[in-house]
């Protein structure tokens, strides 16, 4: 691209800022506009001069009354959301450039480049095609509460993005340009006039509907679009065509199935979400079939199709009308189930295979009579959607914490007079579980559910398993066990499904989350593979989930990253030895302390052999909107997953050298100790978190259906990983992403030989390259000035001020160590796009930080104040938008 590839982005940001300014003048008055501009200019001067002009900013903010503070917060927050729209639009613009110039060094690695490198490396076309045909990328949409923007506003922002795209057209007349700008002004006015704060906490069903909307509005279009682009790249590379319905990407969901620590997700909720998904799928396929009915008017057909329809002038339409009627019946039956009404009679679709059989019959007929071009049109898109989404739209995972399963089985054994399952050792538990899994007798009867042993929590666990039994396997994915520690945790879920009468059991996926559990993961799974019954059950494949959030909260970013790498290495080797395919399920989030990183970097930094053509990844919170909210951006990200998975499978990174492993062991020892020294051992940490950050205020924001804490009260250990990261991000200290790592780097860089080793690692080892790049990105977003503002306004406690000063010093030392390692004078010197993105936001985020600290102080002095609470919520949402990732 041109040397100034970001000029169009700057133009868009300037345009949106001007339009927002006009709206402010018209709606809030010249005085508010002047106030906002004065504050913005002061913030710009502070940022440009690198001086702390906080006194001037405070002098501007302190005299403002509560109502004005709210409007000022809204103005800065709105600009940051508009800047995000401009960046999203710019990504689409860069993607078009990427398609025209795939070798441009400013763009990501495309499928075209991967295929060219595979050819250059001597990988045969047969091997590429074989890998592609078996490739499996499953993206799991989750409702973790990091999406702070209301759906109502998301729709308006999408319309603004569409208008920016239209304004990019080179052939616009002056009249068309004026009309588009008028519409743009209308949409910005509409967004300004809409309450940006979600006033009611969403239910799990609301969250699921949000996921369905993402499919309806974006992914339903992105999947066939992305597949056509992938198909074109394969054709360009001279590879044979894949089957018409080939789609290596699937989607699953945790929305309505993730009950770990969320009492709002019940068996009834899961049943409703599964039914709503079936309703939405039938409705979407109906729209496709209506379009096919309009197009497939031709009369030439194969004998196979005519044998089905009989003699007719429009055989395709005749069959499609039958498909349409059956889809309508399916939709009506699902609607009746949702409303607990009698289901209408008629034949519905109960499996994807039934619908696929009829569509494939049409496809074969069109190709047989020389109408392949028509078969390759909308029909191919529908077949691909069916292969991707099925008739259930999403496969729903179930997630529950391991101790809940133990409690349920403990109730069963005590009811049967066998003693307390919870008190047995691991050997006793396994002996009981295996005997019952192989036995034929029912373990419980109806009397058990009425007994004193079956409390509400036990009843809910078993009710969930009964939902699994009644729903069948097509709409269900994995049963994920949070905080899995032992082999019996996995066997327990298998037995609970048997107790509930599940005929097609869900695959059971242990989630290893803490540092100790990751270190023991291979031993835990190895013990299971020694059990003949278990090994037979998983002979076709095993899935294991790697936890990023809780491991980082437990051990810090660097210690967790190395533990995750080693766990994957050991698991991969163990399952290879047993001849069982392994799929690793990565529980990633948006922030780096929760595993967030660009797709290619994330996959190529995994241990060699661990991807092996199969990958499962969570897509969480606001990242769903950023990556999949618009069809063209979604199609690009889907292609990136296919390209990166293919590359990681056929051109995996080399094994790390022994000296690199030794260095990582030393680094993580120092890192984990430094992290835990503060998080676990400093008595002031919890008080600092609750006083200086908005951790307690976050509970006021209706982000998601799940409580912020696993248990009421308690310290950091009870706080979920997302609000833990969110709170530190709000004050720009970003502590979970770097604490301990700086001390580890400092220690290593004190030795010339270790310095050489570190530099070799950062240049030649994708895993460590990823660590360094992501650390640099998050440190560029950190700001010790901002963190000190909160402290100055919110506490005069000597111990808290002592800790705050120490943390800021550690952060500064971490930056110095990273710059010494990379040899770059400034953070992100190698990434000017990201550096510019952060800099352009600072004049808008800085006032929001000061406002937030002031609002927190005012609110803590009062019992309640609706205006101040609204203003505080706006600052939280605005800062989240400015940071581009929250938790």
pLDDT band per the 50, 70, 90 thresholds, residue 86? confident
Q: Which two tokens stand for residue 682?
A: 């400093």
pLDDT band per the 50, 70, 90 thresholds, residue 138? very high
For the segment 478-503, the average pLDDT, to the nearest whole number, is: 96
Q: Are 220 and 632 in contact (CB under 8 A)?
A: no
Q: What is the pLDDT of residue 1?
A: 47
Exposed, middle or buried, 115 (CB in 10 Å: 0-12/13-18/19+)?
buried
Q: Which residues pair with 482 in a beta bridge?
A: 401
Q: What is the pLDDT of residue 886?
A: 44
Q: What is the pLDDT of residue 838?
A: 76
Q: What is the pLDDT of residue 620?
A: 79
The percentage of residues in the chain with a pLDDT greater than 90, rounded to a whole number, is: 63
pLDDT in tens, 146-171: 445 666 787 888 899 889 989 988 88
Q: What is the pLDDT of residue 247?
A: 96
DSSP for 443-506 reads S--HHHHTSTT--HHHHHHHHHHHHHHHH-STTEEEEEEET--SHHHHHHHHHHHHHTT-SSPP
* Start-to-end C-alpha separation, the chain: 33
pLDDT band per the 50, 70, 90 thresholds, residue 484? very high
pLDDT at 752 over 80: yes
> Of these residues, 405, 485, 553, 781, which one is catalytic?
553
Q: What is the pLDDT of residue 53?
A: 61
Least confident of 227-231, 327-331, 508-512, 548-552: 548-552
pLDDT band per the 50, 70, 90 thresholds, residue 721? low
Measured between alpha carbons, how far is 203 from 871 in angstroms, rounded to an integer? 24
Q: What is the pLDDT of residue 830?
A: 67
Q: Which residues pair with 55 in a beta bridge?
A: none
Q: 138: part of which helix (H) or strand (E)? A: strand 136-142
Task: Give the orientation angle of helix 125-134 with respect to helix 631-650, to 10 degrees.
Answer: 120
- Which residues, 6 or more positions from 316, have their beta carbon under 8 angstroms from its beta carbon? 292, 296, 297, 298, 301, 305, 362, 365, 366
Cβ atoms < 10 Å from Cβ of 10 = 14
Measured between alpha carbons, how far is 835 from 830 in angstroms, rounded to an integer? 9
Q: What is the pLDDT of residue 364?
A: 96
pLDDT in tens, 286-305: 999 999 999 999 999 999 99
When mean pLDDT is compared over 27-31, 53-57, 127-131, the highest value belongs to 127-131
- Annotated active-site residue 498? The verdict is no
C-alpha dihedral (448, 452, 454, 456), degrees to nearest 10: 140
For tokens 């004050």, name the residue.
Answer: 731
For the segment 466-481, the average pLDDT, to the nearest whole number, is: 94
Q: Is 122 left (phi over 0), alpha (psi -120 to 50) or beta?
A: left
pLDDT band per the 50, 70, 90 thresholds, residue 820? very high
Measured between alpha carbons, how far is 499 from 84 in angstroms, rounded to an integer? 50
Cβ atoms < 10 Å from Cβ of 84 = 21
pLDDT at 324 over 70: yes
The percentage of residues in the chain with a pLDDT greater than 70, rounded to a whole number, is: 91
pLDDT at 392 over 80: yes
Q: Which two tokens stand for residue 193?
A: 């006039």
Q: What is the pLDDT of residue 667?
A: 96
DSSP for 723-746 reads HHHHHHHHTT--HHHHTTHHHHHH
Measured between alpha carbons, how far is 137 from 111 in angstroms, rounded to an integer? 15
For tokens 């133990």, name the residue.
Answer: 406
From residue 235, alpha-carbon distances to 228, 230, 239, 655 in Å are 10, 9, 6, 33
pLDDT band per the 50, 70, 90 thresholds, residue 840? confident
What count of Cα atoms within 13 Å lies in the side-chain half-sphere of residue 736? Answer: 32
pLDDT at 790 over 90: yes
Measured between alpha carbons, how far is 562 from 767 in angstroms, rounded to an integer? 9
Reference 254, options 136, 145, 352, 385; nearest CA is 145
- Which residues, 6 or more positions from 136, have their beta carbon under 8 angstroms from its beta carbon? 248, 250, 583, 613, 614, 615
pLDDT at 757 over 90: yes
Q: Which two tokens stand for residue 213?
A: 């909307």
What count of Cα atoms within 13 Å lies in the side-chain half-sphere of residue 181? Answer: 15
Measured between alpha carbons, how far is 529 from 582 in angstroms, rounded to an integer? 12
Q: What is the pLDDT of residue 47?
A: 63
Q: What is the pLDDT of residue 500?
A: 94
Q: Are 497 and 417 in contact (CB under 8 A)?
A: no
For the segment 111-132, the average pLDDT, to the nearest whole number, is: 95
- Annotated active-site residue 429? The verdict is no
From residue 856, alpha-carbon distances to 135, 389, 880 in Å are 50, 45, 16
> Of these residues, 90, 98, 144, 380, which one is catalytic?
144
Measured between alpha carbons, how far is 505 from 464 in angstroms, rounded to an integer? 13
- 3-class DSSP assignment, residue 796: coil
Q: Are 748 and 667 in contact (CB under 8 A)?
A: yes
pLDDT at 567 over 80: yes
Domain regions of the chain by residue span = 1-107+151-194, 277-388, 658-830
Measured between alpha carbons, how far is 436 from 412 in angstroms, rounded to an integer? 12
From residue 601, alpha-carbon distances to 99, 149, 420, 449, 578 in Å are 20, 28, 48, 50, 29
Alpha helices in 121-266 (DSSP H): 125-134, 151-167, 174-192, 204-214, 220-236
Domain 277-388 homologous superfamily, CATH: Phosphoenolpyruvate/pyruvate domain (1.20.1440.90)
For the segment 842-867, the average pLDDT, to the nearest whole number, is: 86
pLDDT band per the 50, 70, 90 thresholds, residue 467? very high
Q: 120: part of which helix (H) or strand (E)? A: helix 111-120
Q: Which two tokens stand for residue 233?
A: 């790249």
Q: Which two tokens stand for residue 19?
A: 């339009």
Give the mean pLDDT of the chain: 88
pLDDT at 102 over 80: no
For the segment 520-542, the average pLDDT, to the nearest whole number, is: 96
pLDDT band per the 50, 70, 90 thresholds, residue 104? very low
pLDDT band per the 50, 70, 90 thresholds, residue 399? very high
pLDDT in tens, 218-253: 999 999 999 999 999 999 999 998 998 899 999 999
Q: What is the pLDDT of residue 698?
A: 80
Give the residue, 196 or 7, on which the prediction is more confident. Answer: 7
Q: What is the pLDDT of residue 778?
A: 87
For the segment 51-69, the average pLDDT, to the nearest whole number, is: 77
Q: What is the pLDDT of residue 40?
A: 81
pLDDT at 591 over 60: no
Q: Are 548 and 587 in contact (CB under 8 A)?
A: yes
For the segment 207-216, the average pLDDT, to the nearest whole number, is: 90
């Amino acid at each position: 691209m041109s040397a100034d590839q970001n000029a169009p982005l700057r133009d868009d940001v300037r345009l949106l800022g001007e339009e927002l300014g006009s709206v402010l003048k018209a709606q809030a008055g010249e005085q508010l506009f002047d106030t906002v501009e004065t504050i913005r200019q002061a913030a710009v001067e502070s940022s440009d001069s690198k001086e702390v002009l906080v006194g001037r900013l405070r002098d501007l903010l302190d005299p403002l009354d509560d109502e004005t503070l709210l409007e000022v917060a809204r103005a800065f927050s709105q600009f940051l959301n508009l800047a995000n729209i401009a960046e999203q639009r710019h990504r689409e613009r860069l993607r078009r450039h990427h398609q025209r110039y795939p070798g441009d060094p400013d763009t990501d690695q495309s499928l075209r480049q991967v295929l060219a490198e595979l050819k250059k490396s001597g990988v045969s076309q047969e091997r590429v095609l074989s890998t592609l045909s078996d490739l499996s990328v499953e993206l799991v949409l989750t409702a973790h509460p990091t999406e702070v923007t209301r759906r109502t506003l998301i729709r308006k922002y999408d319309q603004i993005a569409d208008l920016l795209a239209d304004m990019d057209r080179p052939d616009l007349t002056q009249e068309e340009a004026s009309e588009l700008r008028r519409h743009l002004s209308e949409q910005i006015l509409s967004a300004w006039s809409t309450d940006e704060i979600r006033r009611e906490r969403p239910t799990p069903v609301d969250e699921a509907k949000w996921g369905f909307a993402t499919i309806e509005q974006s992914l339903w279009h992105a999947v066939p679009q992305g597949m056509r682009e992938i198909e074109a790249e394969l054709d360009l590379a001279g590879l044979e065509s894949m089957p018409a319905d080939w789609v290596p990407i699937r989607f699953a969901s945790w929305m309505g199935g993730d009950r770990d620590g969320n009492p709002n997700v019940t068996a009834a909720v899961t049943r409703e979400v599964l039914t709503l998904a079936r309703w939405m799928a039938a409705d979407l396929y109906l729209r496709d079939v209506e379009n096919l009915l309009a197009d497939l008017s031709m009369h030439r057909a194969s004998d196979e199709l005519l044998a089905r329809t009989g003699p007719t002038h429009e055989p395709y339409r005749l069959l499609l009308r039958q498909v349409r009627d059956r889809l309508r019946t399916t939709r009506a039956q699902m609607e009746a189930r949702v409303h607990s009404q009698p289901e209408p009679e008629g034949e519905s679709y109960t499996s994807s295979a039934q619908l696929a059989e009829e569509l494939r019959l049409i496809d074969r007929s069109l190709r047989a009579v020389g109408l392949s071009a028509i078969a390759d049109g909308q029909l191919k898109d529908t077949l691909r959607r069916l292969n991707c989404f099925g008739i259930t739209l999403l496969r729903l995972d179930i997630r529950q914490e391991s101790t809940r399963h133990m409690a349920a089985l403990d109730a069963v054994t005590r009811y049967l007079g066998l003693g307390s399952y919870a008190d047995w050792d691991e050997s006793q538990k396994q002996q009981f579980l295996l005997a019952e899994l192989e036995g034929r007798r029912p373990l419980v009867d109806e009397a058990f559910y009425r007994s004193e042993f079956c409390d509400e929590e036990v009843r809910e666990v078993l009710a969930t398993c009964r939902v699994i039994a009644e729903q069948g396997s097509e709409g269900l994915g994995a049963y994920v066990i949070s905080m899995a520690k032992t082999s019996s945790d996995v066997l327990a879920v298998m037995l609970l499904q048997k107790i509930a009468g599940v005929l097609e059991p869900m695959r059971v996926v242990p989630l290893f989350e803490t540092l100790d559990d990751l270190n023991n993961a291979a031993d835990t799974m190895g013990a299971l593979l020694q059990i003949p019954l278990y090994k037979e059950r998983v002979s076709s494949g095993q899935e294991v989930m790697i936890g990023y959030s809780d491991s980082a909260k437990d051990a810090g970013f660097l210690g967790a990253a190395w533990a995750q790498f080693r766990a994957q290495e050991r698991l991969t080797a163990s399952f290879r030895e047993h001849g069982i395919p392994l799929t690793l399920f990565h529980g990633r989030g948006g922030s780096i302390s929760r595993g967030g990183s660009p797709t290619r970097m994330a996959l190529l930094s995994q241990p060699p052999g661990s991807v092996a053509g199969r990958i499962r990844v969570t897509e969480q919170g606001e990242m769903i909107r950023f990556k999949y909210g618009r069809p063209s951006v979604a199609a690009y990200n889907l292609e990136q997953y296919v390209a990166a998975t293919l590359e990681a499978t056929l051109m995996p990174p080399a094994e790390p050298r022994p000296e690199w492993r030794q260095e990582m062991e030393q680094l993580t020892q120092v890192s984990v100790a430094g992290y835990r020294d503060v998080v676990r051992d400093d008595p002031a940490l919890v008080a600092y978190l609750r006083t200086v950050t908005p951790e307690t205020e976050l509970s006021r924001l209706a982000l998601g259906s799940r409580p912020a804490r696993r248990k009421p009260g308690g310290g950091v250990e009870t706080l979920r990983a997302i609000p833990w990261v969110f709170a530190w991000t709000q004050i720009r200290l970003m502590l979970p992403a770097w604490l301990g790592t700086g001390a580890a780097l400092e220690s290593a860089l004190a030795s010339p030989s270790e310095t050489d080793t570190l530099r070799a690692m950062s240049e030649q080892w994708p895993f460590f390259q990823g660590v360094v790049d992501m650390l640099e990105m998050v440190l560029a977003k950190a700001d010790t000035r901002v963190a000190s503002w909160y402290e100055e306004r919110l506490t005069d406690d000597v111990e808290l001020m002592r800790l705050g000063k120490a943390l800021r010093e550690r952060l500064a030392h971490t930056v110095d160590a990273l710059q010494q390692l990379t040899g770059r004078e400034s953070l992100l010197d190698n990434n000017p796009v990201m550096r510019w993105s952060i800099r352009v936001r600072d004049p808008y985020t800085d006032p929001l930080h000061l406002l937030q600290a002031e609002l927190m102080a005012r609110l803590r002095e009062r019992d309640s104040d609706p205006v101040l609470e609204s203003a505080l919520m706006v600052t939280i949402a605005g800062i989240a938008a400015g940071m581009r990732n929250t938790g």
